[in-house]
Structure 1
Amino acid sequence: MTGEFSRRSFLKYTALTAVAVAGSSLLTGCSGYAPVQHAPGTSNTVLKVVSTLDWVEYDEETNTTLFRLVVTNGRKNALEVTKANFAVKAEGYLAYQNDKLQVIYPDSLSHQVKQGETFTYYVKAKDLNALTDGPVTLTYYPDLQYSEFSANWELAADVLEPELPGTSTN
């Protein structure tokens, strides 16, 4: 074998190197996108879907925390929204596709949000006191096919304290 490097070999190895470099950059893009906000009244935009956590309310009588989430679809395809699109987490607590989590409005099991539409969801986490069990994280997955993309709100008790006892947190 000679030590010469032909033009054909050079082009072949250059092409292989380019493919390897391009492939490695694609793998780094698989980590997803999960922006985190830290207060009610803030918005996240994920997969062209704008979601705003409007307010959070704790009901002492029923020991539930209620989240009001406003969703606007900026995508061409409609969003299929079910209770699987939401999760609520705190230390030692997880409400995700179980009986601790309810989407109480709309009352149907699934709902479609068409392009340009805005819809409000009320997500209820049973047996969760957001004021003492925190920090509490609400996660919204706009498209379950791409679960690595989510909008998140990590809420500490100090941003949830109501101004007067018995009032809701805005």
Structure 2
Amino acid sequence: MSLTFSRRSFLKYTAVAAVAVAGSSLFTGCSKDDNKATRTEYGKITVLQAQSTLSGATYDASKGELTFDFSVKCGRGNPMRVEKSCFSVEITSTDDSGNETTKKYAPDFGNLRISEDLYNAQLKKDKTAEGTVTISGISSLGEKDVVTFLYQPDAYPYTEYGATWELTGEYILSNMAK
């Protein structure tokens, strides 16, 4: 086998590479705000044909609970599950020295629950499930805390796809219904 590379081969492979790079821009998706995989405010995110909406949150300091108002509409031909394992929440706090601590809230830890009306094992196409996701065991919610709410329509095998809201404690506290 010859290791020489002719000018003709070089130009041919360069053209193929250029077409591949140019063609990859076709797969970048829409730039509409509703389709962002991560939002820093309440709103809609569509991922894996699941249109999920985080419409608000309420913090109850006396109970140590943070409750999220959430809905999801199935856009798939096959049914989709909506259950506790689809959700997780993290709260990251930074102290005055700049040290970060993150507390995770997930069904495995027993500190995350969803309302019965949100749960749907077989959410069918064009149907919506709406309800609340509540995390408990919060000693406080500070204005500088970052709350990351994650919804994954398919925990397996598509763990890299999820709708994420990264909200500051200030945003949540200032947007609570009075």
TM-score by length of 1: 0.71
Alignment of 1:19-168 (within 5 A): 35-40=37-42, 42-91=43-92, 92-96=102-106, 97-106=108-117, 111-128=121-138, 131-132=141-142, 134-144=145-155, 145-162=157-174, 168=176
Residues in 2 aligned to 1:107 and 1:137: alpha-carbon distance in whole angstroms: 20
Letter in 2 for 1:102: R
Contact between 2:57 and 2:67, CA under 8 Å: does it hold in 1? yes
- Structure 1 stretches of 4+ moved >2 Å: 104-108, 128-131
What's the CA shift for 1:149?
0.3
Q: 1:109-136 CA distances to partner (integer Å, 9 max, x unpaired)? A: x532110001103111111267327210
What's the CA shift for 1:95?
1.1
Q: 1:57-96 CA distances to partner (integer Å, 9 max, x unpaired)? A: 0112210000111101111111112111000011221012
Distance change (3 Å), C-alpha of 1:130 and 1:119: farther
Instruction: Give 3-state SS (helix, strand or coil) of 1:147's partner.
Output: coil
- Over the matched positions of the two proteins, sequence identity in percent amounts to 24
Contact between 2:66 and 2:136, CA under 8 Å: does it hold in 1? yes
Instruction: Give 3-state SS (helix, strand or coil) of 1:105's partner.
Output: coil
Moved more, 96-105 or 84-93: 96-105
| Residue correspondences, number | 151
Contact between 2:118 and 2:132, CA under 8 Å: does it hold in 1? no
Residues in 2 aligned to 1:130 and 1:143: alpha-carbon distance in whole angstroms: 31
Distance change (3 Å), C-alpha of 1:86 and 1:45: same
Residues in 2 aligned to 1:79 and 1:154: alpha-carbon distance in whole angstroms: 24
Instruction: Give 3-state SS (helix, strand or coil) of 1:131's partner.
Output: coil
Letter in 1 for 2:46: T
Residues in 2 aligned to 1:111 and 1:129: alpha-carbon distance in whole angstroms: 32
Residues in 1 aligned to 2:152 and 2:170: alpha-carbon distance in whole angstroms: 26
Contact between 1:46 and 1:151, CA under 8 Å: does it hold in 2? yes
After superposition, the CA RMSD in angstroms is 3.5
TM-score by length of 2: 0.68
Letter in 1 for 2:164: N
